[in-house]
Amino acid sequence: MIKLKRHIKVEGQEYEVWLGMIIKKKGLRSKISMYYYTENPFVETSTNHSIPGTFESKQKAVAAALRYLKSMYKEMLNREREIEKDKEK
């Protein structure tokens, strides 16, 4: 598995994310599967989670993974805000 470290910006905050990429070649075509890590992949407790979809180019795979993570982080931030609002009531 190829491991990549990228930074994403969500609502003005920058986050460091780790991605994993597996490339399977079948004939002339490549199928690329993407994963994200819960933390640094070199830490024993880190786990990887599959990102839905298969891709034919590395650039498209990384771009799709970053879009997926950005939306996931936005959802997490929205949930945190909702929880804080509920606690205030």
Question: Residue range 27-54: average pLDDT?
Answer: 87
**pTM for this prediction:** 0.82
Query: How big is the chain by its Cα radius of gyration, in Å?
Result: 16
pLDDT at res. 89:
67
- String of DSSP letters for 18-52: EEEEEEEEETTEEEEEEEEESS-TTSTT--EEEEE
> How many domains would you assign to the chain?
1
Residue-number span of the structural domain to which 76 is assigned: 2-88
Question: Residue range 13-34: average pLDDT?
Answer: 90
Question: Residue range 3-7: average pLDDT?
Answer: 93
pLDDT at res. 34:
94
Distances (CA, A) of 81 to 8, 18, 51: 20, 25, 25
Distance (Å, whole) CA 57 – CA 15 = 24
One-letter amino acid for residue 22 of the chain = I
Condensed to tens digits (0 to 9), the pLDDT of residues 50-73 reads 898 888 889 999 999 999 999 999
